[in-house]
């Protein structure tokens, strides 16, 4: 059972809060725990996923759960987050994508919820229009290109995905890489997970990492798929951050910069949003983008 001292009503430090869930840390009798409280509507889905994750050894151990309170008691994973890319950290990245491949091999039922990044984009876009929040005219053009990407990748296989797979959600523990924060886990495009991990990496290493993930040399179609999901990620970031900025528009579009920081102020959220949008428009106006679309379309009709 959940230890008596571990109850949601007892205030303890909140580690993260978002996506409708809250995560708290506890240290009791020399043992460390993570307690997650989730909305009742998603409890059964998350229970199934956390059981599969624990059995696979790629994430925290599910110690217990309480359906009445929508609580999960998980083991705390000691270690450091996956470091920024360097020559010394390459082996950690290789080990991490091996764990990611194990995640994507977990089989879920057809009735499980899906996490399709294109729906997130369309929802945010509709909110801007519905609330009459001013947005850059170039966003309409970007949405048309997103629809092209969705059509090109729609027939590729889906898998259980993390859907927020950046390096801060990977802990390098004594037992190897472990993946944390499963609040957005659902059926989705596995290349979206890869895109979030890889998008800031050097291009040559990114392709090497893809080879390692696939356990074979990536085909042109597989490389094109990753590239298209990277562009999709840019649009997810652009619309999410623009929404958070509450539409405080500026006249001049900033040049691409480090839009993968996590700024807090409204102005910074806006700037990073527009930078992501600008980068998306540049990439999708290239021959490489058209070539990637064509490769994925052709693979569907073979």
pLDDT score, position 244: 60
Please indicate, yes or no, whether residues 157 and 37 belong to a single structural domain of this protein: no
* 5 belongs to a structural domain: no
pLDDT digits (tens, 9 = 90+) for 155-213: 999 999 999 999 999 999 999 999 998 988 999 999 999 999 998 899 999 999 999 99
Helices then strands, each counted (H, E), the chain = 9, 10
Please indicate, yes or no, whether residues 40 and 170 belong to a single structural domain of this protein: no
Q: Give the span between the Cα atoms of 284 and 279, in whole angstroms.
A: 9
Please indicate, yes or no, whether residues 143 and 167 belong to a single structural domain of this protein: yes
> Would you say residue 262 has pLDDT above 70?
no
Least confident of 17-26, 270-279, 292-301: 17-26
* 7 belongs to a structural domain: no
Q: Give the span between the Cα atoms of 35 and 76, in whole angstroms.
A: 9
Least confident of 6-10, 90-94, 127-131, 138-142: 6-10
CATH number at residue 291: 3.90.1200.10
Final residue in a domain of this structure, among 27, 46, 76: 76
To the nearest whole percent, how much of the chain has pLDDT over 70? Answer: 80
pLDDT score, position 183: 84
* 224 belongs to a structural domain: yes
Please indicate, yes or no, whether residues 58 and 145 belong to a single structural domain of this protein: no
CATH number at residue 48: 3.30.200.20
pLDDT score, position 51: 94
Please indicate, yes or no, whether residues 61 and 202 belong to a single structural domain of this protein: no
Please indicate, yes or no, whether residues 286 and 208 belong to a single structural domain of this protein: yes
* 42 belongs to a structural domain: yes
Compare 226 and 33 and report the one with higher pLDDT.
226
* 134 belongs to a structural domain: yes
Total structural domains within the chain: 2
Residues with Cβ within 8 Å of 16's Cβ and at least 6 positions away in sequence, in order, are 22, 23, 181
Which domain does 70 fall in, by range? Answer: 14-76
CA distances from 208 to 32, 170, 192, 301 (A): 37, 19, 17, 28
Q: Assess contact for 74 and 34: CB atoms under 8 A.
A: yes
Question: What average pLDDT does the structure give for the chain?
Answer: 84
* 38 belongs to a structural domain: yes
Final residue in a domain of this structure, among 76, 101, 121: 76
Please indicate, yes or no, whether residues 50 and 97 belong to a single structural domain of this protein: no
Compare 294 and 254 and report the one with higher pLDDT.
294
Confidence band, pLDDT 50/70/90 cuts, at residue 14? very low
pLDDT digits (tens, 9 = 90+) for 225-260: 999 999 999 999 888 767 665 545 443 433 434 444
pLDDT score, position 53: 93
pLDDT score, position 131: 82
* 156 belongs to a structural domain: yes
Q: Assess contact for 34 and 12: CB atoms under 8 A.
A: no
Please indicate, yes or no, whether residues 98 and 136 belong to a single structural domain of this protein: yes
CA distances from 250 to 4, 7, 167, 267 (A): 53, 46, 31, 9
Please indicate, yes or no, whether residues 186 and 287 belong to a single structural domain of this protein: yes
pLDDT score, position 132: 79
pLDDT digits (tens, 9 = 90+) for 81-135: 999 999 999 999 999 999 999 999 998 766 566 888 999 999 999 988 888 777 8
Please indicate, yes or no, whether residues 32 and 107 belong to a single structural domain of this protein: no
* 238 belongs to a structural domain: yes
Confidence band, pLDDT 50/70/90 cuts, at residue 278? confident
């Amino acid at each position: 059972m959940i230890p008596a001292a571990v109850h949601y009503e007892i205030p303890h430090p909140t580690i993260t809060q978002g996506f409708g869930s809250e995560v708290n840390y506890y240290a009791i009798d020399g043992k460390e725990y993570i307690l997650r409280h989730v909305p009742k509507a998603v409890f059964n889905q998350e229970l199934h996923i956390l059981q599969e994750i624990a059995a696979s050894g790629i994430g925290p151990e599910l110690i217990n759960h309480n359906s009445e309170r929508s609580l999960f008691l998980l083991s705390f994973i000691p270690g450091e987050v996956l470091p920024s890319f360097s020559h010394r950290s390459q082996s950690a990245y290789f080990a991490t994508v091996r764990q990611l491949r194990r995640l994507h091999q977990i089989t879920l039922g057809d009735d499980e919820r899906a996490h399709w990044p294109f729906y997130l984009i369309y929802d945010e876009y509709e909110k801007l229009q519905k609330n009459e929040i001013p947005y850059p005219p170039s966003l309409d053009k970007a949405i048309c290109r997103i629809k092209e990407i969705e059509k090109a990748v729609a027939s590729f296989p889906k898998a259980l995905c993390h859907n927020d797979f950046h390096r801060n959600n990977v802990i390098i523990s004594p037992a190897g890489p472990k993946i944390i924060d499963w609040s957005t886990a659902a059926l989705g495009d596995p290349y979206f997970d890869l895109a979030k991990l890889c998008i800031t990496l050097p291009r040559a290493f990114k392709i090497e990492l893809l080879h390692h993930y696939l356990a074979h040399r990536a085909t042109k179609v597989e490389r094109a798929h990753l590239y298209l999901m990277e562009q999709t990620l840019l649009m997810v970031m652009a619309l999410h951050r623009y929404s958070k900025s509450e539409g405080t528009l500026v006249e001049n579009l900033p040049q691409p910069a480090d839009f993968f920081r996590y700024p807090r102020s409204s102005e910074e959220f806006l700037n990073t949003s527009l930078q992501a949008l600008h980068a998306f428009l540049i990439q999708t106006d290239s021959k490489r983008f058209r070539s990637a679309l064509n490769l994925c379309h052709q693979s569907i009709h073979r």
